[in-house]
Amino acid sequence: MRVHVLHHANCFDGAASSAIFAAFYRARIDATAQFVYVPKQHRPGDPFVADDFAADDVAILDFRYTTQPRLGWFFDHHASAFQLPGERAHFEAEGSTRKFYDPRAPSCAGFVAASAATHFGFDPTPHAELLRWAELIDSAAFPDPTMPVTLADPALRLMTFAEQNRDLALVGRFIEDLIDRPFAELAFADYVADTLEPVLERHQGDIALLADRCDARAGVVEFNLLDQPPRAYNKFIPYYHHPTIRYVVGLSIGPDGSIKLTAGYNPWLPRDGREHDISALCERFGGGGHPYVGGASFGPDGFAEALDAQRLIAEVLRGAEGVRGAHAVRGAEG
């Protein structure tokens, strides 16, 4: 039995969801199943290719739904799970007992564990460390921006490995290791340490670069790193430099050479202080994500389009300051 595990690429929750799913599948569905872990990147239109479904069984974890008839399992918690016409109706009409969606779940890994426990008798307790950190990391519930920027904790080293690793040969190995190796050991395994060493060194440079590039105005930080080499940045650095900013909207060249727009609401501010659905703003530009953090990708020659998108999103987010001010005035009068 060959199982394709299509999961959100370069995301700790995507890797953690895959580990929990494989542990569950071996325990409750087929102990001898062979897993092929296929990382998937968001893109406008249909992000899947025919090869994704060339297996005996196929799961999608922490990533978009598809009406593909070969899809066997689905677990997601993204607000943007259903983007193409008819996808949500297809999911609801099918009523599959193996496809699960809950946009309120703090992490997909936790959602897989809870769903598999409830519906298939899976025991997730051996994976408590993985699940605890997946919940904390994916909901950005860090006590302060220092934890995810200094990256001193083993779990934060593993998060960084998942986000930065570009060696496809290590994707499956890392997911399998997440199933049964303690974090304190895996975080310093040779292949993890080798991958992290240059990443952490460059990260120190990124902290200095973003101190210089973050432009904070009316509650919104914008940064533009389109003149920098392709890479992924730690998304918490702007909040480390500007701990009280409301929103961040940035542009960079992703590791695959595409232009990445990232947008977020400060995770250290009260949840109910957010005036905008970041996912919906990003969907206007073919992207997606969660209500409080999202992104969009543009082709390597999409500079003008990406700059327009950043400006428009930043304007909408800044506009909220005016709206809130007006309400305050009206409130005072009324």
Q: Please give the residue ranges that form the binding site for Mn ion (CB under 5 A).
A: 13, 62, 108, 138
Q: How far is the CB of 64 from Mn ion (least distance, A)?
A: 12
What's the DSSP call for residue 217?
E
Alpha helix segments (H runs only) across the chain = 12-28, 87-94, 108-120, 128-138, 146-150, 154-164, 168-180, 183-186, 190-213, 237-241, 278-283, 303-333
C-alpha to C-alpha distance for 110 and 125, rounded to whole angstroms: 11
Q: How far is the CB of 106 from Mn ion (least distance, A)?
A: 9
Residue (13 or 206) nearer to Mn ion, CB = 13
Residue (108 or 320) nearer to Mn ion, CB = 108
Length of the chain: 334
Half-sphere exposure in the Cβ direction for 84 (13 Å, CA): 15
Q: How far is the CB of 139 from Mn ion (least distance, A)?
A: 9
Q: How far is the CB of 134 from Mn ion (least distance, A)?
A: 8
Q: How far is the CB of 13 from Mn ion (least distance, A)?
A: 3
Place of tokens 């309400």: 327
Place of tokens 């595409």: 258
β 247-253/220-225 pair status:
parallel
* Shortest-Cβ-distance residue relative to Mn ion: 13
